[in-house]
């Protein structure tokens, strides 16, 4: 498949959120990426259900929900009701990861697992065929605008090899420091979905930047 682009609303203008959502609706972007932070799993707080529900009302593209929270199982059904297309949970936050992933899928939602920069790809060997997507964090989660961690390229290559070896259908998503300078390398390593926040929303022409990322 052609690669997807998922603008991260964490970098959007929260005073003009509807305007930024409509911009993405009209662009070549494929998904909306929503980072949900609880101030516990990561040292930041983003937005909760009231905001997500409002976004879902006007978003014309799927909502890619990235949960950076402890005990995500408590909220899976609420995220489904709020409009989630994909729900991704952190490997590091789930005591019973296999159960959590299947609980998401039982809701009729795609299930993803997220790896922090220090978490090894090999830990996914036993569940790689159960997931719809793996998100590789190429920065430490919690804040936008961070510098890309170069070792992420190697992790993507490792993950692509694991997916091939197991005949998994999992997609590979990358989030953190993604820009026009490293996008080609990320795609060549095996990435399917580019998440970009600051690169898009700090651009003088966000729609044009999305187009450039999409047409690489």
For the segment 56-90, what is each residue's pLDDT rounded down to a tens digit?
999 999 999 999 999 999 999 999 999 999 999 99
How many other CB atoms are found less than 10 A from the CB of residue 178?
Answer: 27
Q: How many domains are there within the chain? A: 1
Q: What is residue 140's predicted lDDT score, i.e. its pLDDT? A: 87
pLDDT exceeds 90 at position 142: no
Q: Kindly report the pTM of this predicted structure.
A: 0.96
Element (H, E) at 173: strand 171-175
- Kindly state the percentage of the chain with pLDDT values over 70: 97
Q: Which domain holds residue 97?
A: 4-215
Task: For strands 133-137 and 4-7, give the pairing.
Answer: unpaired
pLDDT higher at 147 or 172: 172
Give me the mean pLDDT over the 209-214 stretch: 98
Which residue reads 């937005």 in tokens? Answer: 47
9: pLDDT confidence band, cut at 50, 70 and 90?
very high
Tokens matching residue 175? 């989030």
144: pLDDT confidence band, cut at 50, 70 and 90?
low
**How far apart (Å, rounded) are the C-alpha atoms in residues 63 and 136?**
18
Sign of CA dihedral 49, 53, 59, 65: positive
Tokens matching residue 144? 């936008």
**CATH code: domain of residue 46:** 3.20.20.70
Annotated catalytic sites, by residue?
35, 175
Rounded (5°) CA angle 118-121-127: 125
Q: What is residue 55's predicted lDDT score, i.e. its pLDDT? A: 97
pLDDT exceeds 70 at position 143: no
């Amino acid at each position: 498949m052609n690669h997807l682009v998922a603008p991260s609303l964490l970098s959007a203008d929260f005073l003009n959120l509807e305007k930024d959502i409509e911009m993405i609706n009209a662009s070549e972007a494929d998904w909306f990426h929503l980072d949900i932070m609880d101030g516990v799993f990561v040292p930041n707080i983003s937005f909760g259900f009231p905001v997500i529900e409002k976004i879902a009302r006007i978003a014309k593209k799927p909502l890619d929900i990235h949960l950076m929270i402890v005990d995500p199982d408590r909220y899976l059904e609420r995220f489904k009701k709020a409009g989630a297309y994909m729900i991704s949970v952190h490997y590091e936050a789930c005591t019973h990861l296999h159960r959590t992933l299947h609980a998401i899928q039982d809701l009729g939602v795609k299930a993803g697992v997220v790896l922090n920069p220090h978490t090894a790809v090999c830990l996914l060997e036993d569940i790689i065929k159960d997931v719809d997507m793996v998100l590789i964090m190429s920065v430490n989660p919690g804040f936008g605008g961070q510098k890309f961690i170069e070792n992420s390229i190697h992790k993507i290559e490792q993950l692509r090899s694991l997916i091939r070896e197991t005949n998994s259908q999992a997609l590979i998503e990358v989030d953190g420091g993604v820009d026009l300078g490293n996008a080609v390398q990320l795609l060549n390593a095996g990435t399917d979905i580019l998440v970009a926040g600051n690169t898009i929303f700090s651009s003088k022409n966000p729609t044009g930047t999305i187009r450039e990322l999409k047409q690489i």
